[in-house]
Amino acid sequence: MTLPSKRILLIISGGIAAYKSLDLIRRLRERGASVRVILTKAAQQFVTPLAAGAIAGERAFTDLFDAVTEFDIGHIRLARDCDLVVVAPATADLMAKMAGGHADDLASTVLLATDRPILIAPAMNPVMWSHRATARNLAQLQADGVKTVGPNAGEMAEAGEAGTGRMAEPLEIVAAIERLLAATGTPRGILSGQSILVTSGPTHEAIDPVRYLANRSSGKQGHAIARAAAEAGAAVTLVSGPVKLPDPPGMKVIHVESARAMLAAVEAGLPADAAVFAAAVADWRVAEAGTQKTKKTTAGPPTLSLVENPDILATVAKRKTDRPRLVVGFAAETERVVEYARAKLARKGCDWIVANDVSKESGVMGGDRNTVHLVTARGVEAWPSQSKEEVARALVARIAEALKVPATPVK
């Protein structure tokens, strides 16, 4: 597996080479990547959403105004919830749209909205490829940082046509993807031989069969940390609360609902060399959840009797046996972030706290960026604002450094 946990967004545009993109999906998935697919209207004349979705393992996306996904701005999630955007084939028309910043369908809108690296595999008639307009558009895209693979020279689909314009072969595109992601990803192997436990997402604490207490955690940061650790070679166990994110490949994923279920899964996942508790666990639960839906009455709203949930971070940090060598907690605060994080570090008994401001103005909850402070016994490091994937890779690199230090023998 050369692309473990990598998330590829593949845009297929309309050209006869689109049939090769189905093989590209298969090649990426067999290397451990997850693939989401967008098909333009023209692409659907050559391959069907059903075929692309069946090979990718999830539905293919075709419509900018899809009522199922656009209720929460689905095109923005597609643009950001990936490590790389690949356009294969990239037709002359789509390249022109990209160069001009057009956004009149799902593919072009996602390409304009993404902040991820973009790789295109051009495919068109040789005369179209050599046209001055295409050359101008290509120069603009390259100046904008878009990477290219191909096109190759050879026979075209049209009889009697030959020259440069054939889409690169799927394995060539895979190789280009590997090179591009290797330059931006977590260094391979820095956590080889290490086991990492990660918690992510919220917990849901039942009030009755249809209602629950929860928080706004999306799980994006915790899932990003798990992916980065897997990319670094670790054996990862991810304990995830209820999230709307796909399971990262290349690791063991345990799904839970409540804080008590998360604690049980965490303890079952020990021993581990390091544990990162990124989940936003509900502090309280209802003492006695109703077995039937609570109905409105003339007596007014019901009284909810709350009890405290188990403290998963403190429980693991203070274990006498099977305590991970490194225990990392998260502090999501809306004020006095560093002050509260320092107090939490001392109170919980963990080794590090990753503190962040989750006030409404920060946009962290459910967003794609994060600004954190790493709080340790040695002091506080203020990290710059960056994507959650970048935070994850930086944290994993620091974990790898810490685990290189030999453990202190128990006397």
How far are the Cα atoms of 22, 173, 174 from residue 170, in angstroms, in the given order? 9, 5, 6
Pairing of strands 212-213, 162-166: unpaired
Please name the amino acid found at residue 324.
Answer: P
Q: Which residue has the tokens 């209720």?
A: 71
Q: Let me know: does 354 contact 362? Beta carbons within 8 Å.
A: no
Residue 219 backbone zone (phi > 0: left; psi -120 to 50: alpha; other: beta) = left
Q: Let me know: does 205 contact 282? Beta carbons within 8 Å.
A: yes
Q: Let me know: does 375 contact 342? Beta carbons within 8 Å.
A: yes
CB atoms within 10 A of CB 261: 16
Helix axes 18-30 and 49-56, enclosed angle (nearest 10) = 10
The helix or strand, by DSSP H or E, that contains position 352, with its residue range, turns out to be: strand 352-357
183 contacts: CB under 8 Å, gap ≥ 6: none
Pick from 75, 73, 78, 148: nearest CA to 118:
148
The helix or strand, by DSSP H or E, that contains position 12, with its residue range, turns out to be: strand 7-12
Pairing of strands 147-148, 118-122: parallel
> Rounded distance, CA 36 to CA 56, Å?
7
DSSP bridge partners of 331: 355
For residue 89, cis peptide bond before it (omega within 30 degrees of 0):
yes
215 catalytic? Reply is: yes
Spot the catalytic one: 125, 137, 152, 215: 215
140 contacts: CB under 8 Å, gap ≥ 6: 99
The torsion angle over the Cα atoms of residues 199, 202, 208 and 209, rounded to 10 degrees, is -70
> Rounded distance, CA 105 to CA 65, Å?
9
Question: For the chain, what's the residue count?
Answer: 411
> Rounded distance, CA 100 to CA 102, Å?
6
* Residues carrying an active site annotation: 215
